[in-house]
């Protein structure tokens, strides 16, 4: 017996194949294996380039930092970012010199 993915809608593990579709018998949701690959989490910078963990980025806007009198200036280069899935849109974990560890939104950076 092969391992089929659980239903993305209800989480049922009793899915089955019907031709090229995967079907959930509990909620009647149908999807393709190709659509599962497309739903992967991706982060794009301000220019539309796909960012990956380990990339280097440059800040494109002055950013204020809570709890700090200084902020992050335009043109600041950040090395070795880490992509995370944040519910508030802060999808980039990084360390900025002079500021420390911080989370950034992808629309304020561009790939270097």
The CATH class for the domain spanning 1-40 reads mainly beta
Is residue 14 predicted with pLDDT exceeding 50?
yes
Ramachandran assignment for 89, one of left (phi > 0), alpha (psi -120 to 50 degrees), beta (any other): left
Is residue 106 predicted with pLDDT exceeding 60?
yes
Provide the pLDDT confidence category of residue 40 given band limits of 50, 70 and 90.
low
Could you give the CA distance from residue 16 to residue 102 in angstroms, rounded to a whole number? 44
Ramachandran assignment for 28, one of left (phi > 0), alpha (psi -120 to 50 degrees), beta (any other): left
Residue 41 DSSP one-character state: -
Q: What is the pLDDT of residues 52-65, one digit of tens each?
A: 999 999 999 999 98
As its CATH architecture, domain 43-111 has Roll (2.30)
**CATH 2.20.25.10 placement within the chain:** 1-40
């Amino acid at each position: 017996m092969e391992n089929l993915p659980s239903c993305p809608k209800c989480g049922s593990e009793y899915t089955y194949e019907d031709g090229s579709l995967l079907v959930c018998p509990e909620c009647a949701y149908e999807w393709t294996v190709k659509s599962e690959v497309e739903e992967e989490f991706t982060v794009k910078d301000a220019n539309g380039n796909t960012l990956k963990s380990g990339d280097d980025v440059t800040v494109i806007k002055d950013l204020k930092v809570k709890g700090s009198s200084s902020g992050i200036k335009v043109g600041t280069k950040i090395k070795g970012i880490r992509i995370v899935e944040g519910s508030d849109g802060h999808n980039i974990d990084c360390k900025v010199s002079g500021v420390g560890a911080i989370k950034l939104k992808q629309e304020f950076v561009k790939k270097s």
